[in-house]
Amino acid sequence: MRLRRTSRRLADGREIIYFDDTPGAPERTAEDTRPLGERAASGEIRFDALVGDWVAVAGHRSNRTFLPPKDECPLCPTGTGSVPSEVPESTYDVVVFENRFPSYAPVSAHTPGELRIGDLIQSRPALGRCEVVCFTSDHESTFADLTPERARTVIDAWADRTAELGAVPEVQQVFCFENRGQEIGVTLHHPHGQIYAYPYLPDRSGSILAQATEHHARTGRLLGADILAAELHAKERVVIDTEHWTAYVPYAARWPVEVHLAPRRDVPDLVALTDDERDDLARVYLDLLGRLDRYYVTKDGSPIRLPYIAGWHQAPAKQGRDVSRLHLQVMSVLRSPKKLKYLAGSESGVGGWVNDIPPERIAARLREVAQ
């Protein structure tokens, strides 16, 4: 097997999982000796009756680590900095662990059950799980710098966690994502992503499911498949097209830079991908990230590392799996080398999006910067 999986426990009981692809990688036996005390419990989720959505309230997250110096990075291997980190081992390939400051957690400080005062005041424990995914032990690297082999290991880790977390009774949606860049709001510079296992279906996931359900009832086909077919037919927004994957700028892109990456085959989630599809995804995703990092350049022609959010939209864990189709969304707030798109009155107030950049122009630029 190309991958070795090792599950261990940190000092406060949180799980840490090592995914090793390096031949001869050491056994993962290091103990976490930090005096951490009890693990953080979850907050609560409160129902917003005005719009029919849930909001997590997690006051303990206000004390989470914020942009520490490199020698105090909690994601580097222990022994490489001045303090012990979240990773007890002195080396690692890819590692996943439960977040120390979770929005959703498997343990709750609240009384089990639901608080309900009529239909308008509802809350319950935010039972679920939040995990951190360290793509590499190299603090100065990024996902775009990974080898295809290491990117494939991250994909396998995402699939592993999607399957395990999706089986948890309370979990309704598993979302694997990466925030990159201070403009996005990252609090740790080390290359990493996160996985949220939600105890409810978040707003965008619910909207996607509703659209997909209606489309399937009306046509008998998958909405995601028909959108992909329409983009392939139009061609002008297609950026990359391979045997297994297509990257395109969506017709109604909302962000100054936005790309969707979809499999050619109908699959509900990352778990369902074959080995060949995962291998091709590793190559295509690295190609796409490289183009994004060449999208903007300085006056002297130097590329600008693009701040972005990348998130996998997968089938919900417990419903609508027969009408759902996997895709990745990558988006950036950078609308020029020195200007950000702010979600001001229209976007934040009523959700009325305005994009200053035509999607066809985004796609043309991404094709132009291919290597």
What gap in Å lies between CA 290 and CA 99, rounded to an integer? 29
Instruction: Give alpha helix (H) positions in the chain.
Output: 148-166, 203-219, 223-234, 275-292, 359-368
192 is catalytic: yes
Specify whether the CB–CB gap between 334 and 256 falls below 8 A.
yes
Where do we find the tokens 């830079």? 257
**Where in the chain does DSSP place strands (E)?**
4-9, 15-20, 44-48, 53-57, 94-98, 115-117, 121-125, 129-134, 173-180, 192-198, 238-241, 245-248, 257-263, 308-313, 327-332, 334-336, 339-340
What gap in Å lies between CA 266 and CA 152, rounded to an integer? 20
Strand, coil or helix: what is 330? strand
Q: How far is CA 150 from CA 32, 48, 192, 270, in A?
A: 25, 41, 13, 16
The active-site residue, picked from 192, 215, 313, 327, is 192
Specify whether the CB–CB gap between 19 and 157 falls below 8 A.
yes
What gap in Å lies between CA 161 and CA 167, rounded to an integer? 10
Catalytic residue set = 192
